[in-house]
Chains A and B, each alone.
Chain A
């Protein structure tokens, strides 16, 4: 109901604005407390990061804007419990291969979203996932090279309440399918060779309970229960390994690329905080499938 009301308001606002841009424009610019709010929240986020940084990286220098890592996220999230994040790395601009990416959401109660180790010969350049954002915050990705250089990319996301957002599924249904994995393979753009770049999407059914979601019937918090370790490899050789926290969204989902010839198998192993191990494997598709 509220959505309709707001859409109505929005279209009304749009009409009003278009017809009186000159009159209203300065009011928007000079009197919008929301802009001040966003600026305040950027300051809060930056202050949190200043405290977090030494905890994560001691006093090591972190370079910003080197192009080694790039982050993409919506400026304003449609669903704070499901915010898409795209990361891209360009090791050519760094002094060596990227060994790990640390994903951080400053103001989340558990700010380290994930630490992703990248397989040495995987050729991984892109990885996307979906996260929970609890309040207006910078989302940062810090790439560490094998030689110990740190490169950071950051983007500010406006969202609130993602960590406590109720699950979209019935918890019993979620338990019944927990651990089921699917791998979607996107057809490579080029002829198969030893260096064919492939893109896949790994989907894991798991409620990934943050510990802040309330049971809608009992009103007690559902205990935290999430995939905290994920390993994906090809023929036993690691493509990526992730240690994740409560900020990874329900039904963890990772889309990434790697370089490999046809043949062999992709293996995935996920372990959740209850110690349950989920495994699956899929043949690497031949080109054109």
Chain B
């Protein structure tokens, strides 16, 4: 399904741009001009799709604002990009390669915590990851992201809000928004809970 959404984005922009006769405005594939409403609960599927502009209980940050937070070390950065786990029963000799992930330097990568519904183990991993990296202080500024047009970060930030974190910042443009603004990304490995 996400393919269908993905393919005509640029055509959409062109079509919409032309339809309002502002041909000269730049064609920008990351901004969603079709407003997406916040659902009451978590997004349960089709995660790779346009996201809402807001998240109740959290602030939403632009790349520029995030860059300022990063420079001032004013927030703790959490990457929630999902990762396929290696199945434990593959035949002997199967070649396996984890998909490489690059994220914002200094981030803590909590993989797979942004699904709409998560197992109790994943929930415990997410909670422990947040608690350990904020020293148990739920008022600390935490910033949650994954990639552009991905609901995983929206879900994860919403989850953090529901657990009583009071300074949650959601960064919808994510690692690729960061990269588009010519900031550096570095190779990441998922956080291992102790």
Residues in A lying within 8 Å of B, measured CB to CB: 2-3, 6, 9-10, 12-17, 20, 23-24, 27-28, 31-34, 48, 52, 55-56, 76-78, 80, 107, 109-112, 134-135, 158-161, 163-164, 210-212, 214, 218-221, 223-225, 228, 245-246, 273
Question: Inter-chain contact count A-B, CB under 8 Å?
Answer: 131
Please tell me if B11 contacts chain A, counting CB pairs below 8 Å.
yes
Give bound CA distance, A78 to B23, whole Å: 31
**Nearest CB of B to A212, in Å:** 5
The residues in B between 88 and 133 inclusive whose CB is less than 8 angstroms from any CB of A are 88-91, 94-99, 115, 117-119, 122
Interface status of B46 (Cβ within 8 A of chain A): yes
Contact B29 A33 (CB under 8 A): yes
Report A35 CB to chain B, min CB distance, Å. Answer: 9
* Contacts known (A32-B27, A212-B87); A110 close to B5, Cβ less than 8 A: no
A27 with B87: in contact, given A110-B95, A160-B3 (CB under 8 Å)? no
Q: Are B19 and A219 within 8 A (Cβ)?
A: no
Q: What are 18 A-to-B residue pairs whose CB atoms are below 8 Å?
A: A2-B1, A3-B4, A6-B5, A13-B14, A14-B11, A16-B19, A24-B18, A28-B10, A31-B27, A32-B29, A33-B29, A34-B10, A52-B95, A160-B6, A161-B2, A163-B84, A211-B89, A212-B84
Residue on B with the closest CB to A77? B3
| Contact across chains for B96 and A221 when beta carbons are under 8 A apart | no
Interface size class of B (residues with CB under 8 A): 35 or more
B27 near A224 with CB under 8 A, answer no
- Report the minimal beta-carbon distance from A263 to chain B, rounded to whole angstroms: 36
A164 to chain B, nearest CB (A): 6
Contact across chains for B3 and A159 when beta carbons are under 8 A apart? yes
Residues of B at the A interface (CB closer than 8 Å) are 1-12, 14-15, 18-19, 23, 26-27, 29, 46, 48-49, 84-91, 94-99, 115, 117-119, 122
Docked complex Cα distance between A6 and B9 (Å): 9
Chain B residues contacting A164 (CB-CB under 8 Å) are 84
Cβ-defined contact, A9 with B8, below 8 A: yes
Q: Which residues of B contact A245 (CB under 8 A)?
A: 90-91, 94
| Contact indicator A34/B9 (Cβ below 8 Å) | yes
Flag if A223 contacts B87 (CB, 8 Å).
yes
Given contacts A13-B14, A219-B117, contact A246 B23 (CB under 8 A): no
- Contacts known (A109-B86, A211-B87); A160 close to B95, Cβ less than 8 A: no
- Interface contact A135-B99, CB-CB below 8 Å: yes
Closest beta carbon of chain A to B124's beta carbon, Å: 13
Asked whether, in the complex, the Cβ of B90 is within 8 Å of the Cβ of A160, the reply is no
Which of B3, B18, B85 is within 8 Å of A212, CB to CB? B85
